[in-house]
Amino acid sequence: MGTRDLLFLTLICRLAWADLYLAPNSCHGRCHETFDKHHPCHCNSKCQRFGNCCEDYESLCAHDGFSRSSDAITKEELLTISEKIYKADINKARKEDIILNSQNRISPSETNDQVDRCPEPLYSYVNEELFSKPTYAAFINLLNNYHRVTGQGEHFSPQQLGEQDTFLQEIMKTAVMKELYDFLHQKNRYSSEQEFVSDLKNMWFGLYSRGSDERDSSGFEHVFSGEVKKGKVAGFHNWIRFYLQEKKGLVDYYSHNYDGPWDSYPDVLGMQFNWDGFYKEVGSAFIGSSPEFEFALYSLCFISRPGRVCHLSLGGYPVAIQTYTWDKITYGNGKKYIATAYVVSSTN
């Protein structure tokens, strides 16, 4: 082969190499890949912020990185599954089980005033027979297993660890959680119920450090039990916890700035309160829902829309849930813990 032939062959190889490794302009198979400045468009979680996503990013990657369109969880599917979960919540409070005394409503601009505008407790009556139901009882057993001030490490006894497992076992017996698992299984998020429960335990109960080097926090503690960080209440988005603390004289209800449109339970309330000396500017919570209902909706949104607003439908009314991921450490194969999850409304 002569010199001219060798040069020609080299040129052909270079062209073929360039064509083979041409910078891709699609997100197919590229969801959440590392940023590469040589690519004309991108498929990582920051591309929307910088406006350089590939055209098919939304359809392929915006649903937690599942590239197969059949695995992506659409807005319509979230509306449908949330209605199914809503209808499946047979353990929720009946209208006569709870009497609320919401009293004074304030504007969003007044939520930081720290003024007690409600002389009476929020809960005039709660039928405590609800708390004898297995999921309620298992949930309540968990609430006193935490130090509320961040910076104090959490150390669980074998009994307390067992209470976590009991809670998960009890809620998985309910129609609410079966609806959620069946949906996520169909969307190829989990291959078995055992895998699903194991992941729930990690994302909700896995410990991480919110205040110091101590493992002092978890998603469950923050969302359901509540914490105090830098002199303010953090999390605390559960009606059962609120009622039990108010009954003990540890919670002082100040006002509310949002009341949902539902005329039965579960409802949604955005409120201001003092928790044993610490103020909560806006604490949104479902009212009258079962523990499994809240756990299911927050989990659904964290799994399908982590770190974003998740739009759902409950009884024909729209509702949104905001979740945030804990990004400093991970578990498993890079999975993230729940930092928080709560109901959002047009006013909070």
Which residue would you say has higher pLDDT here, 326 or 32?
326
List all residues 6 or more positions away from 168 whose beta carbon is below 8 Å from its beta carbon.
Answer: 197, 200, 201
Alpha helices (runs of H) in the chain, residue ranges in sequence order:
3-20, 47-50, 57-60, 75-88, 134-142, 158-171, 175-186, 193-205, 219-220, 239-247, 291-304
pLDDT of 301 over the 70 cut: yes
Closest CA to 147 of 209, 225, 237, 252: 225
Residue appearing with tokens 């040589």:
38
Q: Is the peptide bond before 266 cis (omega within 30 degrees of 0)?
A: yes
Average pLDDT in the chain: 88
Q: Would you kindly state where each structural domain of the chain is located, as residue ranges?
A: 17-61, 75-344
Point out the residues that are catalytic: 222, 237, 280
The CATH number given to 17-61 is 4.10.410.20
User: Each residue of 181-205: pLDDT tens digit?
Assistant: 999 999 999 999 999 999 999 999 9
- Which token pair is 5? 């032939």
CA proximity to 268, closest of 345, 340, 178: 345
In sequence order, the β-bridge partners of residue 277 are none
Eight-class DSSP state of 100? E
pLDDT value at residue 11: 41
Residue-level length of the chain: 348
* pTM for the predicted model, two decimal places: 0.82
Q: Could you tell me the pLDDT band of residue 35, with boundaries at 50, 70 and 90?
A: confident
Q: Is the pLDDT of residue 143 over 50?
A: yes
